[in-house]
Structure 1
Amino acid sequence: MKEIKFMGKRIIIFPGVYEPAEDSYLLIDAVMPIASGDVLDLCCGTGIVGLCIANRVKSVTSIDINPIAIKNTCENFKINLVYDKLNAIVGDLFSPLGKVKFDLITMNPPYLWEEEPMDISWTGGKKGREIIDKFIINVGKFLKKEGKALFIQSTINDIEESLNLINKMGLKGKIVMNRKFLFEEIVVIEIAH
């Protein structure tokens, strides 16, 4: 089991769970200044995003389709003494939720292309957009009127397509942060009503 330290937090990484990387840190940078209220952290992995904002918010609901990731998130919240803020659920994006709404929704989805997804922590299906599109189509139903959703996307997944879909869903979308790497640019897209 691997362990890292980030923003004063001790984070353990279970085998089979996405290890926090540049995309995780970029999302945290974008989320920190606006974190408040009730937060939903989708595709939570190790729980690093929710963990970094736990002391600034009322609650963190973390959801991941990978049961090992949910165990990993719970463990990280326990060792960092913020477990009382956490509601961790195994599930596919919004599917375990009823009609609850959130002040802030975050997502760092798997977005690599793969015809046959081999590793759910990395691949987002054909064109890498399956999870992104499902998120955009449904996020408005779970966002409070003044709430915001922030998610990570790479230029390899057609950012313009996401912005157009956000608009088509009657929401407002914009890029609020970006970082360039060798073969791609990673952006944080913000969605609001």
Structure 2
Amino acid sequence: MTITLQLVQRRGWNAWLYAKFLLFQRHRHNQVVLETVAGRPLVVLPDVLNPALFFTGQWLAEEILRTAQDDNALISAGASLLDLGCGTGVVSVFATQQAGRVVAADINPVAVRCARINALLNGVESKVEVREGDLWTPLANEHFDVVVFNPPYFPGAARNTFEQALRSEGLSERFAAGLRDHLTGDGCALLLLSSVGDEAGWLEPLLRQGFTVEPVASHSVAGERLTLYRIR
């Protein structure tokens, strides 16, 4: 019964998400648009998820900004940071205020171009290196103090470029298996998950790899709860 209910809820969410795309995003999805996130300009190219319309990327960037001066800041001053699945690069742009070095990576070549444009637009192109590739592939043996990941929430194969930001197969296991190889000794990951996605499917592989999982921030919007987890 519980599994059936979860499936119904997820199907309902998928329908709502698609309706939202049709109502708010479709007319902007195939053209270049300019958004403003926490006072910073952000170009969104076609086939790149818009963080201002789908909330997650914008909230994560704002959380980084909000905690920048706290004793428990999400990003320590001078830290090296990896922005996995960077999309528009919004997290990378805000992370430069704290991080000493930022590497952004995405499998979508349009997102890679978009992130480079936004780094240039915000005057942080010398602090952000953007790379194209699948998950850990473009990172060789590099280690980071912080790995930030706002992953695709839903299991299943992406049917188009837009859905690459929403769906994936086996990505949670590959992320968990490779994470330790890309963290410094005291490093951590910041993983953003949604209550309407497969949270357990992302957290359980990390626990099996021996990581500890701690929720550090949450936000609710339109019936969706976003939770940011610190992984050590």
Shorter-chain TM range is 0.7 to 0.9
Letter in 2 for 1:177: A
**What is the total number of aligned residue pairs between the two structures?**
189
- Kindly indicate whether residue 205 of structure 2 is the aligned counterpart of residue 149 of structure 1: no
Q: Secondary structure at the match of 2:215?
A: strand
Pair member with larger Rg: 2
Q: CA deviation at 1:47?
A: 0.1
Which structure has the highest helix share of the two?
2
Q: Percent identity?
A: 25
Distance change >3 Å, CA 178–CA 35, structure 1 → 2: same
Q: CA deviation at 1:123?
A: 2.8
2:155–2:198 CA contact under 8 A, matched in 1: no
**What's 2:174 paired with?**
134
**What's 1:86 paired with?**
128
Letter in 2 for 1:25: Q
Q: CA deviation at 1:109?
A: 1.5
Q: Deviations over 1:96-131 (max 9, x none)?
A: 1121100111111222344553334433235xxx33
2:37–2:58 CA contact under 8 A, matched in 1: no
Q: Secondary structure at the match of 1:84?
A: coil
**What's 1:168 paired with?**
208
Distance change >3 Å, CA 34–CA 154, structure 1 → 2: closer
2:106–2:134 CA contact under 8 A, matched in 1: yes
2:44–2:114 CA contact under 8 A, matched in 1: yes
Could you tell me which of 32, 35, 39 is aligned with 2:81? Answer: 39
Indicate the RMSD between aligned Cα atoms, in angstroms.
Answer: 2.0
Q: Secondary structure at the match of 2:228?
A: strand
Distance change >3 Å, CA 97–CA 46, structure 1 → 2: same
Indicate the structure whose relative CO is greater, using CA pairs within 8 Å and at least 6 residues apart.
Answer: 1
Give unpaired runs (5+ residues) of structure 1.
Answer: none
**What's 1:26 paired with?**
59
Instruction: Provide the C-alpha distance between the structure 1 equivalents of 2:63 and 2:183, rounded to a whole number of angstroms.
Output: 18
Mapping for residues 52-131 of structure 1, pairs under 5 Å: 52-115=94-157, 117-118=159-160, 119-125=162-168, 130-131=170-171
Instruction: Provide the C-alpha distance between the structure 2 equivalents of 1:30 and 1:169, rounded to a whole number of angstroms.
Output: 27
Letter in 2 for 1:26: W
Q: CA deviation at 1:183?
A: 4.6
